Amino acid sequence: MAAIEKTEQLSFLLIPLMAPGHVIPMIDMAKMLARHGVNVTIMLTPLNFNRFSSVVNRAAMSGLPIRLLQIRFPSQEAGLPAGCESADTLPSYQLIQNFFVAIKLLQAIVEEKMEEMNPIPSCVIFDKHLPWMAEACQKFGIPRVSFDGMSSFTQLVMHNLYVSKIHQTVPETVPFLVPGLPHEIEFTKLQLPGLFNPRINDFPEFREQVRLTEAEAYGVVVNSFEELEKGYVDEFKKIRGGKVWCIGPLSLSSDDNLDRAERGNQASIDAAQCLKWLDIRPPGSVIYACLGSLARISAPQFLELALGLEASNHPFILVVNTGSESEEIEKWISEDGFEERNRERCLLVRGWAPQVLILSHPAVGGFLSHCGWNSTLESICAGLPMVTFPLFGEQFLNEKLVVQVLKTGVGVGARVSVHLGQTQRPEDKVTRDGIQAAVEMVMDQGEEGCERRRVAQELGKMAKRSVEEGGSSCLNIELLIEDIAKLAKQKKSS
């Protein structure tokens, strides 16, 4: 109660990038901040407003000072179809450029809404992919805190790459060591995010603008917990002058099953049906495979994934690609008889799955993931080892953290990042043999498999402790609020 009294005048405005992996943790963050007595407003466009209104309304009904504020998304002005307001709703990634034009056009719309807000927010937490928020916050004299949904490990790796430029000194297929890290971590240039591994039409000016405005922000909130990546948090804090607050895992913001089921998009399968299927499986026997909301793997790559899972002889839940090649994928599933052949031990989910609910079920023993940071943390929270199948962005960096630093994962052998809107080269395809071998190692009941599971379960317990009262993430939220309260007081007295 003391926290609520102390911070009742503080109001935070949260503005995410319009993509599921960015909106979901911000909604979770809003709930965590509201529990500490901060008045929280989240700005969302109509599509995302509808996706998240039930979760936020439930939180508000429970007494939390949290609300959604709807803003228009300029789809048509940017040449996007009407109602196309989130990266996962783009009919084709050829329209990604138009999407970022719309994001830029949001600036005037957001500023107009901020003008109407009373009181003016004490702080804005913004997604780093909205670099124009620097100008907007300056206009209103509001401190801004950046959020990009990545780990401290990844932030440090990217900073050290940017400073050393080591990736520019080697051929793109030759592994090199990233300098200045607590562990020896190697990459090839082909595995790096777009800022260091640009391809045609890869928005170099935008990426540089993002990097600059993020570096100039008052501080950074990180969806992680200090015990998970201690050395990396310490080094990242040095770079950011101490203004780094690890406040995750944000997915632990709720232990309500309905919130878990509705976390993100409307699930395309009934959560009860999923749980019923899992209930009849032995503990730790099922592998859950999902490559994220933005991943649209090619039909040949999906075929390798499906047949690799089948060959592993473990029961599995597979989330099926719903992108441009979904027709071809469905045709193969039908003609090959894959679903029929595996009906006793396989559940196919077409579209959005209630992932957090699935991962927390005792029957699930491993998670085959693209290593997006939200999914990686959800796996850590569930105490599960991972089969790592990175695709693009910072996912190859997350894989190194899981496999080499935490030692809770096994890679399928992915070698090349395929940026959104690009086509995978046949020679870069991950084979069914690589997938089968990695699944079998993760699900293995021998000494190595048991040790991996033990470490994963210990990390899961640490994650839960970090968000409890007195835990590191809980304390960091309090420190962030205290910091903003001091700034607000200074502003009032000046």
pLDDT at 96: 85
To the nearest whole percent, how much of the chain has pLDDT over 90?
75
On whether both 113 and 241 belong to a single domain, the answer is: yes
Give the residue, 423 or 234, on which the prediction is more confident.
234
pLDDT of residue 208: 82
Token output for 208? 């540089």
* Residue 20, pLDDT score: 87
Say how far apart CA 290 and CA 247 lie, in whole Å.
25
- Do 452 and 392 lie in one domain? The reply is yes
Between 91-95, 385-389, 391-395, the lowest mean confidence (pLDDT) is in: 91-95
Given a cut of 70, is residue 11 above it in pLDDT? yes
CA distance 41 to 320: 34
Give the model's confidence band at 90: pLDDT under 50 very low, under 70 low, under 90 confident, else very high: confident
Cα–Cα distance measured from residue 14 to residue 42, given in angstroms and rounded to the nearest whole number: 5
Length of the chain: 494
Averaged pLDDT, 160-178: 95
403: DSSP letter:
I
Q: Give SS3 for 306.
A: helix
Together in a domain, 394 and 487: no
What was the pLDDT predicted at 304?
96
> Which among 391, 352, 376 is positioned nearest to 20, based on CA atoms?
352
Q: Does residue 3 register a pLDDT over 50?
A: no
- How many domains does the structure of the chain reveal? 2
Q: What is the mean pLDDT of residues 352-361?
A: 91
Range of the domain at 341: 266-463
Could you tell me which of 404, 390, 397 has the C-alpha nearest to residue 434?
A: 390
Q: Is pLDDT above 70 for 315? A: yes
In a domain, 261, yes or no: no
Q: Quote the CA–CA distance of 236 and 232 in Å, as a whole number.
A: 6
What's the CA gap between 241 and 237, in Å, rounded? Answer: 6
pLDDT over 80 at 463, yes or no:
yes
Do 281 and 238 fall within a single domain?
no
The most confident of 7-16, 89-98, 292-301, 375-384, by mean pLDDT: 375-384
The reply to whether 346 and 204 lie within a common domain is no
The whole-angstrom separation of Cα 79 and Cα 99 is: 8
Position 449 scores a pLDDT of 95
Residue 322 predicted with pLDDT over 90: no
Q: What confidence score (pLDDT) does residue 347 get? A: 96
In a domain, 71, yes or no: yes
Same domain, 436 and 475: no
What is the rounded distance in angstroms from the CA atom of residue 384 to the CA atom of residue 45?
34
β partners of residue 145 = 125, 219
Residue 5 pLDDT class (50, 70, 90 cuts): very low
Residue 82 burial (C-beta neighbours within 10 Å; 0-12, 13-18, 19+) = exposed
d(CA 47, CA 16): 13
Domain membership flag for residue 106: yes
Decide: 16 and 240 in contact? Cβ < 8 Å.
Answer: no
CATH number of the domain bearing residue 74: 3.40.50.2000
Q: Which amino acid is at 34?
A: A
Q: What are phi and psi of 316, to 5 degrees?
A: -150, 150
pLDDT(462) > 80: yes
Task: For tokens 């948090």, name the residue.
Answer: 233
* pLDDT value of position 200: 57
Amino acid at 128: K
Residue 6 has pLDDT above 50, yes or no: no
Candidates 396, 390, 389, 387; CA nearest to 366 is: 387
| 393 or 475: which leads in pLDDT | 475
Q: Is the model's pTM score more than 0.75?
A: yes
- 349 and 273 in a single domain? The answer is yes
- pLDDT tens digits, residue range 190-230? 999 888 877 655 677 788 888 888 889 999 999 999 999 99
Is 259 part of a structural domain of the chain? no
Q: Which 3 state secondary structure label does DSSP give 289?
A: strand
Q: Assess whether 458 and 472 both reside in one domain.
A: no
Contact 379, 369 (CB under 8 A): yes
